[in-house]
Structure 1
Amino acid sequence: MKKLMLLGIMMFSGVVFAQEIDHKYEIVDKNVKATYFYENGQVKQEGLYKDGKLHGKWVSYDVNGKKQSLGEYNNGVKTGKWFFWTDSNLNEVDYSDSRVALVKTWKQDALANRN
């Protein structure tokens, strides 16, 4: 009986841990903080929702945890400076009402501040 019970517990715990978590939502002040994950458990993207719209700082990461983008939304609208990292460049994009106003590009040496 003990072996059967132990086997049941092990099977249950295996099922629980096998379930993939692809997102998590938390209440932060009056906003909802959303965190999205890759299959390997690394954070894919995180930011806030206010009244159902993207709001505040949002950050995206690659599957290895390196930052890919950083920017802000104001009630669902991209605003201000956004940064996009690639393997060889850092691009700074200025948004005005979700439209690209200006783009600047830096080469490899700008990537030192990526993490």
Structure 2
Amino acid sequence: MKAIVKLVILLFCVTAFSQGQQHVEYKKVSNNLIKATYYFADNSNAIQSEGFFNDKNQLQGMWVSYDTEGNKTIIAYYDKGKKVGVWTYFKDDKINFVTYKDNKLIGVEEKALVVN
């Protein structure tokens, strides 16, 4: 009986883990840049985020994150793995602008989103 219970628990864990696997695609776009596209685990067609890695496997350039409906949630920038520039966070009725320099937070600004 104990062996059956252990087997059921093991099968449940393996099934739950396999359903949570995230699909990732990599595409070399130049000698020093690789584009990465991450898909939501529960929907292999919906992009969760996409951006670039440099030849040292560091985050590089613009990265964009999406919600499950395909709306942009974050636009971020990296240089050699460090947060840089103005990151934009989209949230319901507001937009937050967060400025980074060499991985350090420089400033935060929030604006109301007005839709006509």
Same fold by TM-score greater than 0.5: yes
Distance of 1:85 and 1:108 partners within structure 2: 9
Letter in 1 for 2:52: L
Q: What residue number does 2:89 align with? A: 84
Matched, 1:24 2:12: no
Give aligned pairs, total: 92
Q: 1:47 aligns with which of 45, 51, 67?
A: 51
Q: Which runs of 5+ in 2 are unaligned?
A: 1-20
Considering fraction of residues, name the structure with more helix. 1
**Aligned-pair CA distance for 1:100:** 1.1
Which residue of structure 1 lines up, in the alignment, with residue 14 of structure 2? none
RMSD: 1.7
1:56-100 CA-to-partner distances (Å, cap 9, x unmatched) read 110000111000000210000000111001112100011011121
List runs of 5+ in structure 1 lacking aligned partners: 1-19
TM-score normalised by the chain length of structure 1 = 0.74
Q: Which aligned pairs between 1:5-20 and structure 2 lie closer than 5 A?
A: none
TM-score, normalising length from structure 2?
0.74
Identity of aligned residues (%): 32
Q: Is 1:64 the equivalent of 2:107?
A: no
Letter in 1 for 2:47: V
Offset of residue 21 of structure 1: 6.5
Task: Tell me how far apart the structure 1 counterparts of residues 71 and 98 of structure 2 sit (CA, whole Å).
Answer: 19
